[in-house]
Structure 1
């Protein structure tokens, strides 16, 4: 029996192949059926969704994000889920939240309040390393997160215990590795001795390695809700970029006009292949049930309008590991995202 049956939808499977009408069954966290006939299992399905006139796609993979910390603070990962993203790639630009050394390595972007609490030098406009004790106090005070990990394995285990809104596939940032090994001495020139120290730390940390292919959509975004003031200062407000909120609908409406199936592949199956993400990115029996039900006719982002910080339209349902993270009624708070490893 199916836990969820999505019937009468147009399957765009993430491979680039032509879309086709079919029904899709979910049992547990896996896709267990795709086809025209579904027999007695359909009658016993716990939930039935009629997707007539809608498109069923794999969940989208945002290939360049900085959600390493924000996903631990705002577990719903609202801006990603609302645009159909079911997996984020973290650790980009050399920045990851692990490994950590005697100081805390953290790229806080524009958060001036954090910098003040963590003891940053006021003259340093882009501080990266903070005294551990002060930084821990800042993290706990502002974010409710205690950065008590050192290794990448400890960081991943910590995230495993959290009810994440979507999956995260972490890269290990070189800057994090370098500062964990060298601390405040990280700006000096490398030597063979430094390389010898870095190698074992890197070996412990790496979960995913990828050569970038830029023909994939990415938001360069965080997991904060659109109302979040990223500076922490009311007198100097700054809010998430509109592409952090509506990237995937914008990408599909702009670049999917002539070949929608290829645009979907670039946002799902192809990133999964490039990043080595197993059993995701494609709608296939036996694969994890990360998927989206969207209304292509109403798909719209507001990034070019007067008020760009609006939730996109046309994303009806989002499923993460077989559970609904988004329905027409809004976010469900299912929290079924996982830390993905090779």
Structure 2
């Protein structure tokens, strides 16, 4: 009998010791998020596979290349996440970036870097305001509205630049600092991405504005009945998206040394939407995190860099990104438990 009691007490003590560890792990999983853990595992596996094929992948120089390469896509993906959480979409961010890039370079050649940057940001805000006005006052679906402005902004950029790169900023200290400078040893492009991500994360997590954006995306009817001015939020979020797109355009100008109407900005809308969806932002709105989006951006950057190092045809990169977007949407549908189109109820 004493031996049986000893065994029971031993089992009880083991359970008592295990329980805090289980609770701790649950807290970690909750804090990080299941979606983010999946992304971390995918990143680790991808790095292991690529690194085993090409040891240069883990070099400091290559890591810096990945970091600077994802910066422009990253800032757009972060603000795209904000738009998606609100229950909308902005397909025009790439074209707005191209128009802002051309504007920054053309004004720079006449008035210098300060006015070049300010004018580009102004153009971006106007692009966002136009998107918001079409959606709010024209009562147009955000996808259709921004699909139309995608073509319009691209056309304007081609008209004012005659379809060619404009200006030369490669000798200007400010643009060189943006493209190749460092802050405390960290590339400026990565610092800018981190600051934009931190700003939007703080807005979403710790302000009433962020809570209202989640509410609008989750249930716009209930939000309206609760007194939230939905139209004001739509206009504000799209103007912010336009400003961040303009920042991306300025970074494109800095990296290429000239204003680019199309080259450098084409396809950025797809990459930003893919990163946001892959990071867990629900395309129907009301759900998403900046941390998840950043992990997805890193995953896409590693995938692109790895395919380049391994000599994979660059066209396959677009195939991979499109495939990841499809996978992300399928996963969202499965998790939501909603009826899929074409399947019996």
Normalising by the smaller structure, the TM-score range is under 0.3
Of the two, which has the highest radius of gyration? Answer: 2
Structure with greater helix share of residues: 2
Tell me which of the two structures has the higher relative contact order, counting C-alpha pairs closer than 8 angstroms and 6 or more residues apart. Answer: 2
Structure with greater strand share of residues: 1
